[in-house]
């Protein structure tokens, strides 16, 4: 495992995400639970102006809280409910500039003002979602969306997922 643990500069987003992807690739292992923990920590360390980052995994047709960094969070989210449930149901990234304007937004931390949620999809099946909250409006843009989707793709392809996740 190689990691510089120095903060990656966010000034040039293209360079930032290239370096983030490289660092993520360097710390990924086969085990899913190790990877989710390390990727949430990596994002928490390097992604500026966020207040929560973590994963929800699909289990019995609902999303269950998994590895995260931040305040304690909602433990269960129904499919289609809130930003995470919308991303899971549609299999599409949800980029929300103002969570107060998102119908059915679930408030876990009142400080969160904007959010991005990226679905984790392996062989066409939903595994869960990566959820990132920010305490400022309009925190995430399309460059963040693209960079984070690629990070999730690297994570999903580098991980050995239990067969019960894929059924």
pLDDT band at 3 (very low <50, low <70, confident <90, very high): very low
* Model pLDDT for residues 25-78, shown as the tens digit of each residue: 999 999 999 999 999 999 999 999 999 999 999 999 999 999 999 999 999 999
pLDDT band at 1 (very low <50, low <70, confident <90, very high): very low
User: Which CATH topology does 13-165 take?
Assistant: Beta-Lactamase (3.30.450)
One-character DSSP codes across the chain: -----SPPP-SSHHHHHHHHHHHHHHH--SBHHHHHHHHHHHHHHHSSS-SEEEEEEEETTEEEEEEEEES---SEEETTSHHHHHHHHHTS-EEES-GGGSTT---S-TT--EEEEEEEEETTEEEEEEEEEESSTT---HHHHHHHHHHHHHHHHHSB--GGG--
């Amino acid at each position: 495992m190689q990691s510089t643990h120095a903060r990656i500069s966010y000034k040039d987003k293209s360079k930032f995400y290239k370096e983030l992807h490289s660092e993520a690739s360097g710390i990924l292992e086969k085990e899913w639970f190790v990877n989710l923990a390390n990727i949430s920590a990596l994002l928490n360390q390097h992604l500026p102006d966020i207040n929560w980052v973590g994963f929800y995994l699909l289990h019995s047709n609902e999303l269950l809280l998994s590895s995260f960094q931040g305040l304690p969070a909602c433990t269960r989210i129904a499919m289609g409910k809130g930003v995470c449930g919308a991303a899971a149901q549609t299999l599409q990234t949800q980029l929300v500039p103002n969570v107060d304007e998102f119908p059915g937004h679930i408030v876990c931390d009142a400080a969160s003002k904007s959010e991005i949620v990226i679905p984790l999809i392996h062989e066409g099946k939903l595994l869960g979602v990566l959820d990132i909250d920010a305490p400022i409006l309009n925190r995430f843009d399309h460059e963040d969306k693209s960079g984070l989707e690629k990070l999730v793709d690297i994570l999903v392809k580098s991980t050995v997922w239990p067969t019960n996740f894929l059924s």
